[in-house]
Amino acid sequence: MSNFTTIAPKYQQTATLQKSASEHLLDMLAISRTDDVLDLGCGTGHITQAIRLQTDGFVVGIDPSEGMIVEARCNFGQNVAFHVGSAEGLNMPGQFDAIFCNSAFQWFRQPSLAVSNCHAALRTGGRIAVQAPARSNYCPNFVRATESLKHDCHTQQTFAHFHAPWFFLETAQDYSNIFTTVGLRVLMSEIEDITQHCSPAKAFEIFESGAAAGYLNPDCYDIDLPSGYISIARELIARSFHAQVESDGQVELTFSRIYLLARKP
């Protein structure tokens, strides 16, 4: 089975796509040497550590997955305060100049409450930068791979009981509205399509670093999973990535991503 705690031990090596997206997001946030910064949904903390190097201020990483926080504390705990907690439970009013949120926003169960908590956590003039997969067809390759679970006779009945844990909005304006509603001023909001070419094995590794925590997570089904379901589903998804290779033997992996920067007036 997959959830962020089972993914955590390998996350830092496999999450190459999240890492590359984070570099642009860090540039957008333009952290100064005195900023106090929150990394919301920090995962294993390797990007929090990159934030740590940009400021002499206070740096905090928060994530609801205990496994992710165990990894983060083990690797970077000397330099950064890591806490188990969700964006919806965030209660640190006026403590930050900047909030960084990379590849986690889509997992928020109550995005409006989470963004309202971020508004409260920022000082006047503080900024929040968010990057997340966007649009229901956020990655046509993953959508196609999981379609195979709908059609295979070994998985179709069980997959009918899957409930997606994440949310995707269709336009940059839809994302902006969540931020403006709580009183933040959106400075930039754009959905970008990013393509990379990789082997089918790498595509599967990228799938396992995030999407698997939904599609292959028993908590996302409203029935008990029959024994063997997860391994058959994994096999079908891996096979689909092999079927998606182009003539050069590579998968053209495309992601739509929202990049948003907002300020507290």
Ligand X SMILES: C[S@@+](CC[C@H](N)C(=O)[O-])C[C@H]1O[C@@H](n2cnc3c(N)ncnc32)[C@H](O)[C@@H]1O
Positions in the binding site for ligand X (CB under 6 A): 4, 15, 18, 22, 40-43, 47, 63-65, 68, 86-88, 102-104, 107-109, 210
CB-nearer residue toward ligand X: 54 or 250: 54
3-state DSSP of 111-134: HHHHHHHHHHHEEEEEEEEEEEEC
Q: Could you tell me the smallest distance in angstroms from the CB atom of residue 45 to ligand X?
A: 8
Looking at beta carbons, which residue is closest to ligand X?
43
Q: What are phi and psi of 206, to 5 degrees?
A: -65, -40
Length of the chain (residues): 265
Q: Could you tell me the smallest distance in angstroms from the CB atom of residue 86 to ligand X?
A: 4
Q: Which residues contact 41 (CB under 8 A, 6 or more apart)?
A: 62, 63, 87, 101, 102, 103, 104, 105, 107
Q: Could you tell me the smallest distance in angstroms from the CB atom of residue 139 to ligand X?
A: 13
Burial class of residue 145, CB neighbours in 10 A (0-12, 13-18, 19+): buried
Reported as type and span, the H/E element at residue 73 is helix 66-76
CB-nearer residue toward ligand X: 83 or 242: 83
CB-nearer residue toward ligand X: 126 or 210: 210
Q: Could you tell me the smallest distance in angstroms from the CB atom of residue 166 to ligand X?
A: 9
CB-nearer residue toward ligand X: 102 or 155: 102
Q: Collapse the DSSP code of 252 into the 3-class scheme (helix H, G, I; strand E, B; otherwise coil) and give the result.
A: strand
Q: What are phi and psi of 121, to 5 degrees?
A: -75, -20
**How far apart (Å, rounded) are the C-alpha atoms in residues 61 and 66?**
12
Q: Could you tell me the smallest distance in angstroms from the CB atom of residue 246 to ligand X?
A: 26
Contact call for residues 134 and 191 (beta carbons, < 8 A)? yes
CB-nearer residue toward ligand X: 86 or 155: 86
Q: What is the residue whose two structure tokens read 């679970």?
A: 149
Burial class of residue 38, CB neighbours in 10 A (0-12, 13-18, 19+): buried
CB-nearer residue toward ligand X: 109 or 185: 109
Q: Could you tell me the smallest distance in angstroms from the CB atom of residue 197 to ligand X?
A: 21
Q: Could you tell me the smallest distance in angstroms from the CB atom of residue 84 to ligand X?
A: 10
CB-nearer residue toward ligand X: 12 or 176: 12
